Structure 1
Amino acid sequence: MKYAVLTLILSSASISTAQEAVMPDYELALDAVQDGEILPLADILAELNKTHPGEVVEVELEYDFGRRVYEIELITPEGLLIEVDLDAATGKILEVEEDD
């Protein structure tokens, strides 16, 4: 899988304590991975490539659907821009949308 510009944007909506509020976003994500709360992005991308191959252009880690969600935008081999939402804890695909 080719990776173009890859950004990781974390939503502050997932901050739940005052201690976490002062932590940088990347540390919150790292802690969540180390605590087993979410899967590493590399694992998510490897699994996503099996069902939705393409060039990743943006990645966001947000709190949606009552859980942490990786929102991944990619360009398919056919040239379509799609967004795939995956449960960050399980890697299960929650939604696939074609963007304009």
Structure 2
Amino acid sequence: MKSRFLVACALLLGTLSFGVSTGLADKQDRKREQHTLVREALQRGEVLPLVKILEIANQQVPGDVIEVELENKKEALIYEIKILTGTGRVREVKIDARTGAVVKVEDD
């Protein structure tokens, strides 16, 4: 009886770990695909290089960049840049990746 329980537990754990690893693999594949799409858009000139985006962000909010994310929102690629100001405040600058237009500046 005890050995059946152990076998059942082992099968359950194996099934759970397979589901988790498959889900992680799918997520990693989607990330790779997104990175490839953004890289290709950059090469075609459809997206501004990160160096230019960071210049724009620092013009809006001087300080140290502590985080950068590229989000796909409503058919637009938006950079979200978190900046630590000289006063210790964290501000977030949202910039359209295609045009360089500042979408929003807010406290984080």
Q: TM-score, normalised by structure 1?
A: 0.69
Divergent runs of 4+, >2 A:
20-29
Aligned pairs, number: 80
- The match for 2:81 is 72
- The match for 1:12 is none
1:1-100 equivalent positions in 2, closer than 5 A:
23-99=32-108
Between structures 1 and 2, the one with greater helix share: 2
Between structures 1 and 2, the one with greater strand share: 1
Q: TM-score, normalised by structure 2?
A: 0.64
SS across alignment from 1:60:
strand
- Percent identity, aligned pairs only, is 41
Q: Shift of residue 59 of structure 1?
A: 0.5
Larger relative contact order (CA 8 Å, sep ≥ 6): 1
SS across alignment from 1:32:
helix
RMSD: 2.1
Name stretches of at least 5 consecutive residues in structure 1 with no aligned partner: 1-19
Larger radius of gyration: 2
Aligned partner of 1:78: which letter? Answer: T
Q: Shift of residue 47 of structure 1?
A: 2.1
Cα distance in 2 for partners of 1:28, 1:51 equals: 28
Cα distance in 2 for partners of 1:56, 1:22 equals: 23
